[in-house]
Amino acid sequence: MNTSSTSPAERPSVGFIGLGIMGRSMAGHILAAGHRLNVFNRSRDKADELLARGARWCATPGEVAANSDVIITMVGYPSDVEQIYLGADGIVARAERALLIDMTTSSPELAVRVAEAARARGCRALDAPVSGGDIGARDAKLSIMVGGEQAAFDQALPILKLMGTNVVLQGGPGAGQHTKMCNQIVIASTIMGVSEGLAYARAAGLEPSTVLQSIGGGAAASFQLAVMGGKMIAGDYAPGFYIEHFIKDLGIALAEAQRMRLELPGLALAHRLFDGLAQQGHGRLGTQTLIKHYGG
């Protein structure tokens, strides 16, 4: 399974399901490394470029699973993950001694159920959500947070390293999703602080970009302040990360926290504010649009 010392024919065949902006880039890296690639996506046209490069189209997720040693999924919502893995003619039903890797940001509890169902069928499963966005996917510089058994992680590592530079096993099944939830929880309140600081700056008659000169390099410094703060100031609401996807993630985190009887009022507040923006029709704008809540 060492991709660098084996011939193409010996390399595991990989199935990739979910060819959104990130999925297409990620699948492309796997193809470029010489793996046979089977693909499926709800809208077939998203597969065109990969098919032109030699990938093979499959009509269903089950067909991908039946023909691949490693099956990777990068879809939208936990409900999609559940259907694709656990549904009739789904991955678990059709895969044979395969390694299943769900890279969707999804529910930790569902990751555990998928791992159990996979094991019952003689397969291994990992949850491996990512951070780094479109650009991280394009440049193969994602951070990949993995949950599952060590042996499955070791088996997956050469393939995961085709997509990411920071691949860390965080614990057993669900631990990758839990880690991604930590990431989103930190971001939720951080971007709220950035929005409130810049809204205050405007209200006080300051020049926000000059304020950033003073506060951008010290204890207030963050990726969110530098990148999203800059977009807020420029009035650029184009999506790097959709509000509607962030609401999905924060909803999962809130449900998990509630299940663990952990109260996270900052997370709950941020979820409420983003939800308000989505209800105003901003769900397909970027998360930096939070500044609009404050009149920005």
B/e letters for 25-63, b = 16+ CB within 10 Å, e = fewer, are bbbbbbbebebbbbbbbeeeebbeebeeeebbebeebbb
Alpha carbon distance 1, 31 (integer Å): 15
DSSP for 28-62, written as a single string: HHHHHTT--EEEE-SSGGGGHHHHHTT-EE-SSHH
Region near a second copy per CB under 8 A, out of 20-28, 96-104, 181-189, 277-285: 181-189
Q: How many residues does the chain have?
A: 296
Least distance to a second copy from the beta carbon of 245, Å? 13
- Applying the rule CB under 8 A, the residues between 229 and 288 that interact with a second copy are 241, 253, 256-257, 260, 262-267, 269-270, 273
Looking at residues 196 to 225 of the shown chain, list those that interact with a second copy (rule: CB under 8 A). Answer: 196-201, 203-207, 210-211, 213-215, 217-225
Largest CA distance in the chain: 65
Tally Cβ neighbours within 10 Å of residue 65: 28
Give the count of alpha carbons within 13 A of 167, CB side only. 21
127 token code pair:
């949850």
Per the DSSP assignment, residues forming a β-bridge with 168 are 145
The single residue among 193, 230, 239, 251 that binds a second copy, judged by CB under 8 A, is 193
Residue 180 annotated to the active site: yes
Binding of residue 136 to a second copy (CB under 8 A): yes
168 binds a second copy (CB under 8 A): yes
User: For residues 34 and 251, which CB has a smaller minimum distance to a second copy in the complex?
Assistant: 251
How do 99-102 and 70-73 pair as beta strands? parallel
Q: Of 91 and 185, which has the nearer Cβ to a second copy? A: 185
CA distance 175 to 110: 11
134 contributes a contact to a second copy by CB under 8 A: no
Residue window 47-86: x/- pattern of binding to a second copy, with contact defined by CB under 8 A: ----------------------------------------
CB nearer to a second copy: pick between 32 and 260: 260
Q: How far is CA 69 from CA 5, 86, 110, 235, in A?
A: 18, 18, 22, 46
| Rounded Cα distance, 14 and 31, in Å | 9
Of 96-125, binders to a second copy (CB under 8 A) are 108
Provide the minimum distance between the beta carbon of 77 and a second copy in the complex, in angstroms, as a whole number. Answer: 20
Min dist CB 121 to a second copy, Å, is 26
Q: Which residue has the tokens 């020049």?
A: 207
Shortest Cβ 254–a second copy spacing (Å):
10
Q: What's at 90, amino acid-wise?
A: G
In sign, the C-alpha dihedral spanning 225, 237, 144, 181 is positive
- Of the candidates 46, 161, 180, 248, the residue annotated as catalytic is 180
If one counts every other C-beta atom within 10 angstroms of the C-beta of residue 193, the result is: 16
Shortest distance in whole angstroms from residue 271 CB to a second copy: 12
CB of 103 to a second copy, least distance (A): 14
Q: Which residues are catalytic?
A: 180
Applying CB under 8 A, the residues found at the interface with a second copy are: 108, 131-133, 136, 143, 145, 166, 168, 170-171, 175, 178-179, 181-190, 192-194, 196-201, 203-207, 210-211, 213-215, 217-225, 227, 241, 253, 256-257, 260, 262-267, 269-270, 273, 294-295
